[in-house]
């Protein structure tokens, strides 16, 4: 397994691979890897000649400095987990100065209305940071395919817009949410939860399952009222938002058009102000 900490060293290694037209799969991560990440890695290994995993906690996508400071950093454990998965993985773990060419600032993007909804509404500047770091990473790696989990579904749609805006020739592949035994979506932030809080957080997925059962027989407003009432009674969790949205536009719906696809999206604060997000396909 190879590990590179600069763009220059990575590109020097990849140049002969580009010349041979070998397919490169890429999984961008912020580290604190878990089995959800490994499912993406295994998919890339099965579909590409070369698989690269980046480990980089991106400062420009955090609008909360304490969230950035507290984000788990476990590089040695991440390396060991990838080593156990396959010897044929390249790790790219640059410093912010190297990846950002010395100046760690966000570019500005026009992602349309999608960037101001849900995550964009509650985390201003977040998607500019995501677009910026992925632009730098895609330029450094130059992959054929890039893999993203559907837990961050809004981000996945932003990434698809990014490659269209920048005319980047990359296939963006969304992968199903991987869940713990109690239904909690795997997330690096779960590492900050106590075992008790993890078990209690199963309420998030249980609530989403119930919204799926209600969808079609209840309107969006009735479902939102139900979700709000659930978390009013859950003193260990604070509901930040719940929305039922069109999969393509991510705009909240008032009525159902059966020719379109919808998802329910939720963001909840747990203990120690750990923010958890999840979503579920409704139809």
Domain presence at residue 183: no
Kindly state whether residues 233 and 194 are assigned to the same domain: yes
Give yes or no for residue 77 having a pLDDT over 90. Answer: yes
Domain presence at residue 26: yes
Tens digits of residue pLDDT in 158-206? 999 999 999 999 999 999 999 999 999 999 999 999 999 999 999 999 9
Distance, CA of 114 to CA of 149 (rounded, Å): 18
DSSP one-letter string for 191-217: GGS-HHHHHHTHHHHHHHHHHHHHBTT
Q: Residue range 54-74: average pLDDT?
A: 91
Q: Residue range 238-253: average pLDDT?
A: 96
Helix and strand numbers (H, E) in the chain are 11, 9
Domain presence at residue 281: no
Kindly state whether residues 164 and 128 are assigned to the same domain: yes
Tens digits of residue pLDDT in 20-32? 999 999 999 999 9
Kindly state whether residues 32 and 110 are assigned to the same domain: yes
Last residue of a domain, one of 175, 200, 230: 175
Give yes or no for residue 255 having a pLDDT over 90. Answer: no
37 is catalytic: yes
Domain presence at residue 252: yes
Last residue of a domain, one of 153, 175, 197: 175
Q: How many domains does one find in the chain? A: 2
Residues 6 or more apart whose Cβ sits within 8 Å of residue 184: 190, 198, 201, 202, 204, 205, 276
Phi-psi region of 163 (alpha: psi -120 to 50; beta: other; left: phi over 0): alpha
Kindly state whether residues 52 and 144 are assigned to the same domain: yes
Kindly state whether residues 245 and 125 are assigned to the same domain: no
The strand pair at 171-175 and 50-55 is best described as unpaired
CA-to-CA dists, residue 191 to 126, 213, 276, 277, angstroms: 22, 30, 12, 14
Tens digits of residue pLDDT in 121-158? 999 999 999 999 999 999 999 999 999 999 999 999 99
Whole-number pLDDT of residue 67: 87
Give yes or no for residue 64 having a pLDDT over 90. Answer: no
What length does the chain have? 283
Q: For the chain, give the percent of residues with pLDDT over 90.
A: 94
DSSP one-letter string for 43-79: HHHHH-SEEEEEE---GGG-S-HHHHHHS---HHHHH
Give yes or no for residue 256 having a pLDDT over 90. Answer: no
pLDDT bracket for residue 265 (50, 70, 90) = very high
Give yes or no for residue 254 having a pLDDT over 90. Answer: no
Full strand arrangement of the beta sheet holding 262-269: 238-246, 262-269, 275-281
Kindly state whether residues 13 and 127 are assigned to the same domain: yes
Kindly state whether residues 21 and 145 are assigned to the same domain: yes
* Structural domain that includes position 219: 188-276
Kindly state whether residues 9 and 120 are assigned to the same domain: yes
Query: How high does pLDDT run on average in the chain?
Result: 96
Whole-number pLDDT of residue 111: 97
Q: CATH number, domain at 201?
A: 3.30.1300.10
Catalytic member of 37, 126, 136, 205: 37
How much of the chain is helix, strand and coil, in % rounded to 5? 45, 20, 35
Give yes or no for residue 93 having a pLDDT over 90. Answer: yes
Kindly state whether residues 124 and 194 are assigned to the same domain: no
Kindly state whether residues 207 and 266 are assigned to the same domain: yes
Determine how many CB atoms are found less than 10 A away from the CB of residue 217. 8
Tens digits of residue pLDDT in 204-215? 999 999 999 999
């Amino acid at each position: 397994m190879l590990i590179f900490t600069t763009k220059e060293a990575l590109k020097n290694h990849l140049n002969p691979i580009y010349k041979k037209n070998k397919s490169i799969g890429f999984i961008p991560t912020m580290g604190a890897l878990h089995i959800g990440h490994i499912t993406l890695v295994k998919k890339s290994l099965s579909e590409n000649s070369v698989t690269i995993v980046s480990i980089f906690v991106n400062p420009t996508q955090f609008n909360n400095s304490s969230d950035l400071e507290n984000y788990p950093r476990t590089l040695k454990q991440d390396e060991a987990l990838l080593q156990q998965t396959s010897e044929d993985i390249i790790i790219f773990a640059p410093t912010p100065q190297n990846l950002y060419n010395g100046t760690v600032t966000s570019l500005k993007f026009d992602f349309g209305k999608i960037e101001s909804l849900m995550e964009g509404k509650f985390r201003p500047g977040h998607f500019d940071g995501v677009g910026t770091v992925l632009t730098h990473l895609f330029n450094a790696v130059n992959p054929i395919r890039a893999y993203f989990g559907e837990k961050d579904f809004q981000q996945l749609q932003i990434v698809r817009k990014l490659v269209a805006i920048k005319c980047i020739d990359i296939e963006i592949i969304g992968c199903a949410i991987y869940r713990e035994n109690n239904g909690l979506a795997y997330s690096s932030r779960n590492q900050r939860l106590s075992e008790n809080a993890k078990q209690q957080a199963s309420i998030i997925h249980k609530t989403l399952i119930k919204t799926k059962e209600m969808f079609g027989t209840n309107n969006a407003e009735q479902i939102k009222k139900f979700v709000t009432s659930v978390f009013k009674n859950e003193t260990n969790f604070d509901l930040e938002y719940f929305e039922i949205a069109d999969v393509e536009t991510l705009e909240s719906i008032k009525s159902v058009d059966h020719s379109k696809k919808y998802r329910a999206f939720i963001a909840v604060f747990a203990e120690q102000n750990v923010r958890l997000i999840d979503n579920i396909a409704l139809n």
